[in-house]
A and B are shown apart, each in its own frame.
Chain A
């Protein structure tokens, strides 16, 4: 196992290096031009050429790329094209804590609802209540956020119009600003986690060793939590890792619609404006997050399942 982790750590810089290279080339080859975007359709060739030079866009690809890479190694992500003169580090570092905390709260919420619902459904298999709850979970999982948000807002407006307490529709900074985005972000993963937990529990509950445990006269709670759940949790851990990445990318839509100053919000506008330094930085950060989450997943795996420890 130690080897696997060591290998992962060693490969991390290579993964990130490849990501920078690919992102750079995609940006370099993609049609479109940050200077033209900035000038909003007004053509003035002399000014255009001068601005290209100022932002170093008239340099060759290797000059541009290695200058960027050199900066990255020193922790300098360059200057934003759009937010003229503001360092990308400053822009991006404002967004990371927002996105991470939003994603973390949504994840905790979806686990704390999804897992119990799944276990409950496994225990009450084939009852009407179980079928209804699983249908509800399937619906939550399949409704995209851009459909869920208008529904939330409609309900919220009905509250407002009647003079009842209502939630702010968008914004950031107050505790009440969290509620709608967290619910929207959590909705899909609640459905997924609940259904997965159910299947996984059903599988475990059929095992012989559980029958043995019952036969031994162990208490229901002990059987459920120590013997069954501990074994059923492995597949859940498997999805939670990528699910974190899913929550961060899902935040692209949610952050934009709720005007939350996170990293997803930044990326969308950077892409539209061809703000290459910002695009490169957010991509690298997201890639690093995914790699890191996979690593953590592997570590948790080995902690929970001794077989993996041995085989690794």
Chain B
């Protein structure tokens, strides 16, 4: 009897709590935008942020000299204009009149110089500055701790900044759109040791609340030149994208899905076709790469045989059910130069076998090769199919080596340092940091660059990208050079591109002013960003 009564009381109280729980409240003017895959932000210092979720927030809190518009062109932000010297080495920026931090103080040229120096300073502990700002004169000297004066950045007067670069570059402005070049209040940062927890904002929004482990709340910055009519943006941190999807479905979010954490693939079918479903092919490519310093993959014909043996259409459309787009080239669709044609190595089992013959090897002399990959998402499924396809088309046995992600990147780094003891062949991914072919070709496959883990090397390729990297002004010629270089890397299989991932997200149709493309969600005009009632 006692238990029965207790159970009844309990059941009634649970039902009562269910009944009084407020149904999803729709507040006007509050944009609810989840950040998936994290449980907290790394830091609000733009020089220390290191993941895409962090950079989404940094992009809302801080302005840069320039930023990207919805078509991925570089447009003025806190610099209203700039000039470039004849030799392409000196950029002179004029700051926007009236540009102000969230406390009302003016954004000055010395804030720009301080922020760039801070991003390079080894004591800051960030990696993005040394990586993206290295073309600025004196950047390496600051990054190596030799000096704290960045010689290439000069505050001419309060509203004029002069930046000198080491070599002419068509993508330098693109690099300045990245988080490491955002502008911080030097006055606050040099006087308040705790500034990162409550930073002054130079961007369209300012920090209202940061609840560690839960989320942040932003409100518009009155000092920014484009004033959003939104009252606030609430950004909860949701580790699990399935949870974010469920929150969206029950009316608790306006935007869900971000790089690597889109709609969980099991729900894509039910979300597709609805007004809030948005899908794009990302500026990223998943590929297999080879250790070019070790047999058998030091031979281009062997690499070609491995490329010709893969039926990527089946992989993309059947195995991965259209959640990716099969890729036959290195540049993802939408990156400049990806509109120029490339002759690719499409699936052709006969040609694959012929390539093995041309290489003078047989499956027996090659023996067993090992494909290493990081355990994440669909990787397991992909590599298993690759293994089967190589066996079927070439008769070559491939063993699979799964590694936990952090271990995988450590092994990749070892492959760069000591190729002799490195990986033989690996399945990896590269996503654009900024939409320029240089980020995919020169930074990945040029001889001896840091990211060229597989040590692909071709002098003709190097000469072409070197020429293109420094070419400014003549866009068509520059892209033509990259196209020739890409053709070499495709024919010689510097990388074996497999597919471009798709990102599927949900955006409430009431949200206006956001553009979704391969770079993610972009807000071209913050004054137009709103949630309509």
Contact = CB atoms under 8 A, between A and B. Distances in A.
Given A47-B131, A95-B213, A165-B19, A38 B252 contact: no
A156 B417 CA distance: 53
Given A33-B410, A160-B250, A259-B240, A43 B6 contact: no
B480 interface: no
Interface string A93-132: 0110000000000000000110011011000000000000
A169 B213 contact: no
B399 interface: no
B151 interface: no
B214 interface: yes
A156 B23 CA distance: 12
A94 B22 CA distance: 27
A47 B133 CA distance: 12
Contacts of A160: 23-24, 249-251
Interface in A66-89: 82-85
B40 A169 contact: no
Interface in A218-266: 256-259, 261, 265-266
A35 to B, nearest CB: 8
A113 to B, nearest CB: 7
Interface string B122-138: 11011100110000000
Contacts of A272: 405-406
Given A40-B51, A272-B406, A84 B130 contact: no
B407 A47 contact: no
**Residue of A38, A159, A259 with most partner-chain B CB within 10 A:** A259
Given A31-B407, A171-B236, A259-B240, A176 B21 contact: yes
Contact of B39 (A40, A55, A165, A261): A261
Interface residues of A, number: 65
Contacts of A206: none
Interface size class of B (residues with CB under 8 A): 35 or more
Interface in A36-52: 36-48, 50-51
B412 to A, nearest CB: 7
B298 interface: no
Nearest to B406: A32
B243 A170 contact: yes
Interface stretch (B10-18, B389-397, B491-499): B10-18
A179 interface: yes
A274 B410 CA distance: 12
B143 interface: yes
A268 B39 CA distance: 10
Contact of B131 (A30, A42, A269): A42
Q: What does DSSP make chain B's interface, helix, strand, loop or mixed?
A: mixed
B237 interface: yes
A120 B3 contact: yes
B451 A42 contact: yes
Contacts, number: 195
A143 B126 CA distance: 44
B278 interface: no
Given A33-B409, A83-B43, A43 B130 contact: no
B265 interface: no
B250 A157 contact: yes
B7 interface: yes
Given A37-B409, A39-B127, A47-B143, A166 B21 contact: yes
B404 A84 contact: no
Given A43-B453, A54-B125, A265 B239 contact: yes
A167 interface: yes
B321 interface: no
B196 interface: yes
B214 A173 contact: yes
Interface string B30-69: 0000000011111101001011000000000000000000
Interface string B299-335: 0000000000000000000000000000000000000
A84 B125 contact: yes
Contacts of A289: none
A84 B48 contact: yes
B3 A265 contact: no
A297 interface: no
B227 interface: no
Interface in B132-188: 140, 143-145
A176 B143 CA distance: 49
Nearest to A117: B3
Contacts of A288: none
A277 B209 CA distance: 26
A43 B416 contact: yes
Contacts of B145: 50
A255 to B, nearest CB: 9
B317 to A, nearest CB: 27
11 contacts: A38-B50, A41-B412, A42-B131, A42-B451, A44-B130, A54-B125, A119-B3, A165-B18, A166-B250, A168-B250, A179-B14
Given A41-B430, A84-B45, A256-B240, 6 more contacts: A44-B127, A54-B123, A165-B19, A167-B21, A269-B239, A272-B405
Among all A-B residue pairs, the 10 with the closest Cβ atoms? A261-B213, A32-B406, A43-B450, A116-B3, A31-B407, A176-B21, A169-B246, A120-B3, A47-B130, A36-B409
